[in-house]
Chain A
Amino acid sequence: MIDKLLSLSIKTKITFTVFLIILFLSGAIIYTIKSSLAKNLENSSVKIVQELVAVNEASIIKSILEDDYWSIYNRLKSLAKLNIIQDIGVVDTQKRVIAHTNTKEYRIYDKFNLKAFDGIKIALKSDNIQFGTCVVKINKNALKALFKDMDKQIYLYIIALALLSFAMAYFISERILKRLNILSYNAKCIQEGKLEKLQQYKSIEKDEITKFQDSMEIILKQLNDALASEQKLKSFYHKILQGLNEFIVITSREFAIKFQNDHSYKEIILENGALKRELLESIQTSLSKEIKRSVITVQNGDELLYLYTIIEEIGDMYAISFTDITKLKTLEEKEQLANSFELIGEISASVVHEIKNYLQPVKLLMEQEDLDREDYQRITAIIAKADTLVNDFLSIGRPIDKNLSESIEINMAIEQQLFLFTANLKRKNITLIKKYTDGLKVNIANYDFELIVANLLKNAIEASFENGTIEIKTEQKDGFKCFTIANEGKPIDKDIIESISKPFFTTKKRGSGLGLYTTYKIVYLYGGYIEVHSSTHGTSFSIYLP
């Protein structure tokens, strides 16, 4: 019930509340006045009756003395013509009725119970002798009847007041509602962004709603300005986005496209207004590995496109940019191929030159007629060196087989290699500092990973000072799994760092110069990279693998 009442419109609520308040108030006031008047009138009536009886007292007493009951009755009847008297009678000193206008209840000589009588009792006396008692019942209905006309006027007055209050309440609520409706309409316009439809209303009232309306108007104006400038800013950024060489797509977390700039690759990347399936899968895979920068390939007819993809999380959206690096890739591949030929030429020349260098003393020894035991040992050593050279050379040419990749726990694999280098570490009394991050895994062939770790450990131990420290750290960094091996030792020159990845480059007396080159090659082929830092404290190699 209360819910229903509360759900009524403001107009109805205000109108009826004011209406009822005025109706009840006026009713109560009028009722009070009427009650008071009625009481006063009753008191006055009693006085009037007493005076009337007093006026007729002498005649009634005379009739009592004359035994003329009919005259008494007639006199009483005359008195009873007065509306306020319901019944009037005379009782003699023996408390017997001698005349009464209510002839049905009070017959002549009936006993009258004066004590129990609740009407007016007036002693009929002359010279202090009582001859009887006049008993009068006031007609309360007649008193009420006096109010009958007044009642009509009262009800008319109440109705008029109520109607007036109803009209007033209706007018007030109408005025309030009209203004509230405008406020509501304006709020809706803002909600729907239809600012041009906002209504202005100058109300003559100077009440709270007007103040609220004025404040609202200012807020709306400010909001309007803010929205306009936001719109300008939006179109400014839109223009910038449109002008970019990259194809930018802004999506929800569910990859529903919210924005895209105009780009020729729109049709290659999008399909039916959404990211192409294979593209989406690649992006989702990258995201699941927390890789935000990756190169994704897309088939465009016969052509394979290389897209450098950057995924940025902006609030609850993804901003994905696609940069076409196909040309760059082609160039890179061509350069690599050229480099490879050049490299193979260089390597071949080097290997041949090396082998020739090895064979030169062997040839000189072989030309001797008598070869002693030392000469044979020397020849064997030279051949062993040549064998190492050939083996290393062969390992350069060994292709990477990604099919052999397996999930390798980095920390564990490093530990295994450390175990193999225990003796080397002890020899130089090197202290190991391990800063491992648990649970890091990479997909790589076990042999390849061992080779990387072994090469780096070997170099680190060799470059390390006696009693120095080697720090090994594993971590997740920039979407890559990273492990760093840092040793305390002489810093490496800048020029040397630039050549460090070149084959046959070595600063060691007995190195082939192919170890680091092979490491670089493996890491690169698995999609990773190597960072080298060298300072007065030492040198660190960081391997980043996807």
Chain B
Amino acid sequence: MEVVSVFYKLFSKGGQKLTTLLQKLTIIFIITVNILYASEYKNRVVLGLTGVVLKEDIATIVKLKRYLEKKSHLNIAFKFVKSYAEIKTLLLNESIDFAYICGSTYVDLEPSKKVELLALPTVDAKPFYQSLVVVQRDANYTSLYDLKGKIFAISDPESNSGSLVPKYQIYKKGYDFSNFFKKVVVTYDHGESIEAVRLGFVDGASVDSVVYKAYVTKNPNKAKELKVINSFGEYPIPPFVIREDVKSSIKQELKKAMLSMASDKEGKAILKTLAIDGFIAPNNISYKKIKAIKEYLNQKESPNDR
């Protein structure tokens, strides 16, 4: 668009008038060379993100992008979508190259063999996290089950911590999730779910422990209005996945940049804001636990079962 705009200005009557044709040609040449050079110089990769993960903290995400660009010499672009369902589609139709997704989404994608794990965030040196049930500090609820008949927020319907785990726990307890709450509000964002609780729009919400930790770090005063009444699991942490068919050099560059972040001052600062210790290579990680939950829920919610 910028190039078009410059061209338009050059040749339109209202634009700045350059006196000689030579000057105009020189400028066109410089711009063209510049564009070609830039595309040759860097490989462009697209990072897919959902609002589920830190949409609120866009500044940190930008910092992470710039950091990775610097370290990997790649040109990284963002693609934000609302849901994991959408990001799944984008990965499968190759609109994005790599993405930060939920474990449950990975469980869905794994059979297609189109994506592979790129790196895993670690918390307390482990690639695991919890699903937390958050309510207002002054509320009398002591567990998820006290919220029966209340308004509850979930993030993405496919999110493990934000949706599947509470559903699973409620079913496990013998309740029917579909009528357990007065109303389930979908926020598509853990951060939003936390805010929905804080603002009193909902009575409780189920959120990702990593996001909650980042929220507490960033908003210590707001966090004082909240409390966690349940912490479920340890579950394998949401991974960074990359399309199988992306150049291996790019994969290596990205992995290298991510894994070395914790040993770098700048990288460390970004990780701190994201409430994670660093990234590790995805060795010896299994998402079977999540897979089991999904299967259990599928079974519970299949029309035949009802």
B183 touches A103 (CB 8 A): no
Q: Which residues of A contact B202 (CB under 8 A)?
A: 108
Report if A68 contacts B (CB, 8 A). Answer: yes
B200 touches A70 (CB 8 A): no
A104 touches B151 (CB 8 A): no
How far is A379 from B139 in the complex, measured between Cα atoms in Å? 174
Q: Which residues of A contact B160 (CB under 8 A)?
A: none
Report if A73 contacts B (CB, 8 A). Answer: yes
A73 touches B183 (CB 8 A): no
Report if B196 contacts A (CB, 8 A). Answer: yes
A109 touches B182 (CB 8 A): yes
B151 touches A107 (CB 8 A): yes
Q: Which residue of B lies closest to A107 (CB)?
A: B151
Report if A69 contacts B (CB, 8 A). Answer: yes
Q: Which residue of B lies closest to A73 (CB)?
A: B201
Report if B192 contacts A (CB, 8 A). Answer: yes
Contacting B201 at CB < 8 Å: which of A67, A68, A70, A109? A70
How far is A104 from B192 in the complex, measured between Cα atoms in Å? 18
How far is A68 from B182 in the complex, measured between Cα atoms in Å? 15
Report if B153 contacts A (CB, 8 A). Answer: yes
B186 touches A109 (CB 8 A): no
Q: How far is the CB of A79 from chain B (nearest CB, A)?
A: 15
0/1 interface trace, chain B 172-216, chain A, CB 8 Å (1 if under):
000000000011011110001000100111100000000000000
B182 touches A69 (CB 8 A): no
Report if A99 contacts B (CB, 8 A). Answer: yes
B151 touches A70 (CB 8 A): no
0/1 interface trace, chain B 11-41, chain A, CB 8 Å (1 if under):
0000000000000000000000000000000
0/1 interface trace, chain A 94-109, chain B, CB 8 Å (1 if under):
0000010001100111
Q: Which residues of B contact A103 (CB under 8 A)?
A: 199-201
Contacting B183 at CB < 8 Å: which of A68, A74, A77, A108? A108
Q: Which residues of A contact B185 (CB under 8 A)?
A: 69-70, 108
How far is A412 from B209 in the complex, measured between Cα atoms in Å? 150
Q: How far is the CB of A529 from chain B (nearest CB, A)?
A: 133
Q: Which residues of A contact B196 (CB under 8 A)?
A: 70, 73
0/1 interface trace, chain A 53-93, chain B, CB 8 Å (1 if under):
00000000000000111100110010000000000000000
How far is A68 from B184 in the complex, measured between Cα atoms in Å? 10
Size class of A's contact patch? 10 to 19
Q: How far is the CB of B222 from chain A (nearest CB, A)?
A: 15
Q: Which residues of A contact B192 (CB under 8 A)?
A: 70, 74
Q: How far is the CB of B269 from chain A (nearest CB, A)?
A: 30
How far is A14 from B13 in the complex, measured between Cα atoms in Å? 75
B201 touches A99 (CB 8 A): yes
How far is A27 from B192 in the complex, measured between Cα atoms in Å? 50
A70 touches B183 (CB 8 A): no
How far is A108 from B202 in the complex, measured between Cα atoms in Å? 8
Contacting B153 at CB < 8 Å: which of A70, A74, A77, A99? A70
0/1 interface trace, chain A 235-251, chain B, CB 8 Å (1 if under):
00000000000000000
Interface size on B, residues (CB 8 A): 14
Q: Which residues of B contact A67 (CB under 8 A)?
A: 186
How far is A74 from B187 in the complex, measured between Cα atoms in Å? 10
Q: How far is the CB of B245 from chain A (nearest CB, A)?
A: 34
List CB contacts (< 8 Å) of B154-185 with chain A.
182-183, 185
How far is A67 from B187 in the complex, measured between Cα atoms in Å? 11
Q: How far is the CB of A78 from chain B (nearest CB, A)?
A: 13
Most buried by B among A67, A77, A107, A109: A107
Contacting A104 at CB < 8 Å: which of B186, B187, B188, B200? B200
Q: How far is the CB of B57 from chain A (nearest CB, A)?
A: 17
List CB contacts (< 8 Å) of A103-137 with chain B.
103-104, 107-109
Q: How far is the CB of A34 from chain B (nearest CB, A)?
A: 35
How far is A77 from B199 in the complex, measured between Cα atoms in Å? 10
Q: How far is the CB of A17 from chain B (nearest CB, A)?
A: 57
Q: How far is the CB of A251 from chain B (nearest CB, A)?
A: 106
0/1 interface trace, chain B 215-250, chain A, CB 8 Å (1 if under):
000000000000000000000000000000000000
How far is A104 from B200 in the complex, measured between Cα atoms in Å? 7
A70 touches B199 (CB 8 A): no
Contacting A69 at CB < 8 Å: which of B183, B188, B199? B183
Q: How far is the CB of B284 from chain A (nearest CB, A)?
A: 38
Q: Which residues of B contact A68 (CB under 8 A)?
A: 186
Q: Which residues of B contact A70 (CB under 8 A)?
A: 153, 185-188, 192, 196, 201
Q: Which residues of B contact A109 (CB under 8 A)?
A: 151, 182-183
List CB contacts (< 8 Å) of B119-164 with chain A.
151, 153
How far is A99 from B202 in the complex, measured between Cα atoms in Å? 10
Known: A70-B196, A70-B201, A73-B201. A108 touches B153 (CB 8 A): no
A108 touches B186 (CB 8 A): no
How far is A305 from B151 in the complex, measured between Cα atoms in Å? 138
Q: Which residue of A lies closest to B189 (CB)?
A: A70
Closest 8 pairs between A and B when the two form their complex, measured CB to CB = A103-B200, A70-B187, A108-B183, A108-B151, A69-B185, A70-B185, A103-B201, A73-B201
Mark B residues whose CB is within 8 Å of A.
151, 153, 182-183, 185-188, 192, 196, 199-202
Mark A residues whose CB is within 8 Å of B.
67-70, 73-74, 77, 99, 103-104, 107-109
Apart from A70-B185, A103-B199, A108-B202, 9 more pairs, CB < 8 Å? A69-B183, A69-B185, A69-B201, A70-B201, A74-B192, A104-B200, A107-B151, A108-B183, A108-B185
Sample 30 A-B pairs with CB under 8 A, ordered by A number.
A67-B186, A68-B186, A69-B183, A69-B185, A69-B201, A70-B185, A70-B186, A70-B187, A70-B188, A70-B192, A70-B196, A70-B201, A73-B196, A73-B201, A74-B192, A99-B201, A103-B199, A103-B200, A103-B201, A104-B200, A107-B151, A108-B151, A108-B182, A108-B183, A108-B185, A108-B201, A108-B202, A109-B151, A109-B182, A109-B183
